[in-house]
Amino acid sequence: MKADKIIIAGGSGFLGKALTKTFLQKGIEVIILSRKAIPEDFVKTVVWDGRTIGEWAENLNGSSALINLTGRSVNCRYTERHRAEIIDSRTLSTRVLGKAISQCPSPPRIWLNASTATIYKHSYDHPNDEETGVMDSSPAGRDRFSVEVAKAWEKELYFAHTAKTHKVALRISIVLGLQKGSAYDIMHTLVQRGLGGHMGNGRQVISWIHVDDFCRAVQWILSKPSPANAYNLASPGALTNRNFMEIFRKVSGRSFGLPAPHFLLEIAAFFMRTETELILKSRYVSPGRLLSEGFIFQYPDIESALTNLRNKKVD
């Protein structure tokens, strides 16, 4: 990998921490842009507000790569206020980073900006790759807002004037890792409590990637002299929610899991202050580019990924 100083905007969260650890292990300097000073001495944190140019922008000068992971969590009720926070945190951070790069005398060679696999249409039977994927919302997916966010996010990236910096959108699927409050953590708790049955009709496809493969794929893209402008960060092992939960129960040694019908999910989502779209949208995404370029997944199937995480949790 040809990179020695990497700036990670929004790097204080789940994926930022995983990437930071990976880069530091390889001797690469990491600087995190965060809205708050983080008193951790193993990595330098620079304060920014995610929307206006400030002294923080000087850190981009002479850096090798920028990775932007900024974004208010989508795990909430989509009230007007939350909608504005979700979209602004993504678009304004992307816009200001583009501005900072355009003013930088020695800008990073490459800029990876988070996006989401949710940009693709709700689909049960069409695996969306980067070439043939359909980017649209559908009433069945109840995903108009999330697709709008994803499109606006990528538009900010592609519209940024960064002549010397190559831009790449990372269409990230559900990342499975041990982070508290993450998708894996929530599903693990449900399975342990006997609630790990299928959700809704169970036909919706879950696209996912193990956090180690996420970090490896990011390094793979950074190492390419001319990467494509978008990559699906999803394993080739997408599967239905019904199969996903069945394998989760098997790996966890639970023979039974109570299914959650749609109406019950709506009630639960209301009380948990979240949205059912996160569970019920069929995100059928294929890592077409990574596979065609020869990337090898360490965890291509869900059983190997869940077994690895279960063993790490027990350690």
Ligand X SMILES: NC(=O)c1ccc[n+]([C@@H]2O[C@H](COP(=O)([O-])OP(=O)(O)OC[C@H]3O[C@@H](n4cnc5c(N)ncnc54)[C@H](OP(=O)(O)O)[C@@H]3O)[C@@H](O)[C@H]2O)c1
In the complex with ligand X, which residue's Cβ is closer, 50 or 133?
50
Q: In the block, which residue shows the tokens 């700036």?
A: 7
**Which residues sit opposite 170 in a β-bridge?**
114, 231
Q: In the block, which residue shows the tokens 């995404």?
A: 285
Closest CB 174 distance from ligand X, rounded Å: 5
Q: In the block, which residue shows the tokens 């970090």?
A: 215
In the complex with ligand X, which residue's Cβ is closer, 72 or 224?
72
In the complex with ligand X, which residue's Cβ is closer, 172 or 187?
172
β 205-206/239-240 pair status: antiparallel
CA contacts within 13 A on the Cβ side of 128: 28
How big is the chain by its Cα radius of gyration, in Å? Answer: 19
3-state secondary structure of 5: strand
| CA distances for 170 relative to 39, 190, 201, angstroms | 29, 29, 29
User: What one-character-per-residue DSSP string does 50-89 give?
Assistant: SSS--GGGGGGTT-SEEEE-----S-S---HHHHHHHHHH
In the complex with ligand X, which residue's Cβ is closer, 82 or 254?
82
Closest CB 116 distance from ligand X, rounded Å: 4
The amino acid at residue 39 is: P
What residues line the site for ligand X (CB under 6 A)? 10, 12-16, 34-36, 50, 69-73, 85, 89, 93, 114, 116, 172, 174-175
In the complex with ligand X, which residue's Cβ is closer, 174 or 251?
174
Closest CB 246 distance from ligand X, rounded Å: 21
In the complex with ligand X, which residue's Cβ is closer, 19 or 110?
19
State the Cα–Cα distance between residues 46 and 16, nearest whole angstrom: 14
Q: Which of 99, 101, 96, 123 is nearest to 111 (CA)?
A: 101
Closest CB 305 distance from ligand X, rounded Å: 13
Closest CB 114 distance from ligand X, rounded Å: 4
Residue 200 zone, left/alpha/beta (φ > 0; ψ -120 to 50; rest): left
Closest CB 255 distance from ligand X, rounded Å: 28
Closest CB 175 distance from ligand X, rounded Å: 4
Closest CB 91 distance from ligand X, rounded Å: 11
In the complex with ligand X, which residue's Cβ is closer, 106 or 189?
189
In the complex with ligand X, which residue's Cβ is closer, 158 or 194?
158
State the Cα–Cα distance between residues 49 and 227, nearest whole angstrom: 29
Cβ atoms 38, 32 nearer than 8 A: yes
